[in-house]
A = this chain, B = another copy of it.
Amino acid sequence: MLEFPVIQGQGFRNVVEDGRVTGFSFRLRNPNYRGGPGSMLDGVEVVVDGERIPDHVPLWTLQGRTFTLDELRASTDVRWQLDEPATITVPKPGGLSTGVHHIEVTIFLRRSYIPPLIARTRFRAEAQRVIVPPAPEGGIKYGVSTYSYTGDVNTSMTLEDVFAEIADLGATGIEILGEGNIANYPSPDPAWVDAWHGLVQKYGLTPTNFGSWVDTTRYNGRDLTAEEGAEQLQLDLRLAKELGFTSVRPKFGVISWDLDPHPIWQETVERSLDLAAELDVVICPEIHTPTPIKHPVTQGYVEFIEKSGTEHFKLLIDTGIFNTEVIVDTSEEVDGDGEEIPPHLRPLAVPMSDFVEVLPYTHFIQAKFVEIDDDLHDLHVPWAQIIPTLLDNGWSGYLSSEYEGRREPGRGRDQVRRQHALIRSLVQGS
């Protein structure tokens, strides 16, 4: 599917020719209600951050071919279809800076059925769009969780659209939620599994982490047994392996305000460790606010790793634990009296020294965030501390974007791009 705004977020980038940045390009959805001949296109005026580029300057790429406006006017065999975006290329030596830009366009179309004097009609659109620099090579790997696109998936994004979006922003890893993204979970059709592998191949992405739930209160009136917990976890380990994932995050039920996991967690894991080793899939409990690193729950996991000596049980760190500011807007309405801030929205501000201590036990990092503003400032997460910490300690695993802000259509897509622009800038600037 295309994005609803005429100016698409996907495809906005600087153009590199012979190693030099010569301009920028972006995609437009046809704003008309019909497709039509390229010869009836009559230019596009672009205003980027207040700088006006006249309507005859941008190049048009349609159906795989690139045209000047004069070439387009003279064309007889190219069309702008409704289901194919046009790519607009604007010459601008040096291109645009990393980050958020304001783009306005006026698209001119000639329409025969409008009186000749006004038949050159215009469609206007504007948007804020993000230049994401290429991923710096080596070190940190860049991924995205489908969780970031909750609400958009199944309503304006197919699974293929998710792959295309992640690949377009230059990330290489895709994280999924088993019970969210697998059609007919827990028994996907073999054709679905084939299609999954086809997408992995087509978009060159690496399956990273697979979200799993051990719902200890699944049944009414009694808790899940460790045997049932292990059955669930093992089902997900096998599904994850089948789809090429290398870790599974089981989210265990909790039994206290402190988020102590249900006591079956340990037996559930113990019963599943042999299978995890056999499949070479790492089981990763998630360290998530309001549970910090210096806390019996996290320490219990670390102890388990040390005692068992396993390579297939490691931590998953959710960067929400580093927040330094209270979260006001989030993805879900929060019940309460409105006076007290719920624990998971308060800043836990886990210090970097604690992070460094557990990094050797950490397999995966979910780059949780809620809002990044137009100046690439994250309102809550101190990336300027986290990124140097990761670099200094040689982290070579994934940072997997997990957008958890408001769920207006398309907002997650835009915010994930901001996050990658921010994080990659910090890596490049180090």
Query: What residues make up the interface of A, taking CB atoms closer than 8 Å to B?
Result: 1-4, 29, 33-37, 39-40, 73-74, 76, 79, 81-83, 110, 112-119, 121-124, 147, 150-151, 153-156, 158, 177, 179-181, 183-185, 211, 213-220, 251-257, 259, 262, 331-333, 335, 409
Q: Are A254 and B113 in contact (CB under 8 A)?
A: yes
Given A112-B213, A115-B256, A215-B40, A180 and B33 touching (CB < 8 A)? yes
User: Quick check: A34 and B110 within 8 Å, CB to CB?
Assistant: no
**A112 in complex: contacting residue of B117, B158, B254, CB < 8 Å:** B254
How far is it, in angstroms, between the C-alpha of A114 and the C-alpha of B33 when the chains are bound? 47
A58→B33 CA distance, assembly (Å): 41
List 5 A–B pairs whose Cβ atoms lie within 8 Å, in order of A's numbering: A4-B151, A34-B180, A37-B218, A112-B253, A121-B335
A113-B252, A217-B112 known; A83-B154 Cβ under 8 A:
yes
- For A213, what are the chain B residues with a Cβ–Cβ distance below 8 Å? 34, 36, 112-113
Interchain CB contact under 8 A, A177 and B33: yes
Known contacts A81-B185, A122-B335; A34 and B177 CB within 8 A of each other: yes
Nearest chain-B residue to A147 (Cβ)? B33
Complex contacts, A215 vs chain B, CB 8 Å: 36-37, 40, 112
The oligomer's copy count stands at: 2
Contact call A1/B155, Cβ cutoff below 8 A: yes
Which partner residue on chain B sits nearest A286 by CB separation?
B113
In the complex, the answer to whether B34 meets A179 with C-beta atoms within 8 Å is: yes
Q: What is the bound-complex CA distance between A83 and B83, given in angstroms?
A: 23
A213 to B37, CA, bound (A): 11
Q: What separation, in Å, do the CA atoms of A74 and B219 have in the docked complex?
A: 7
Assuming the contacts A115-B254, A215-B112, A217-B119, asked whether A150 and B33 have C-beta atoms less than 8 A apart, the reply is yes
Q: Which of B33, B185, B211 contacts A79 (CB 8 A)?
A: B185
Would you call B36 and A155 a contact (CB within 8 A)? no
B35-A180 in contact (CB<8A)? yes
A82 x B180 contact (CB < 8 A): yes
Question: A3: which B residues are within 8 A, CB to CB?
Answer: 155
For residue A252, which residues in chain B have a CB less than 8 angstroms away from its CB? 112-113
Q: Give the Cβ gap from A320 to chain B, nearest Cβ, in Å.
A: 14
The answer for the CA separation of A179 and B84 in the assembled complex, in Å, is 12
Interface centre among A3, A124, A153, A217 (most CB of B within 10 A): A217
Q: How far is the CB of A104 from chain B (nearest CB, A)?
A: 13
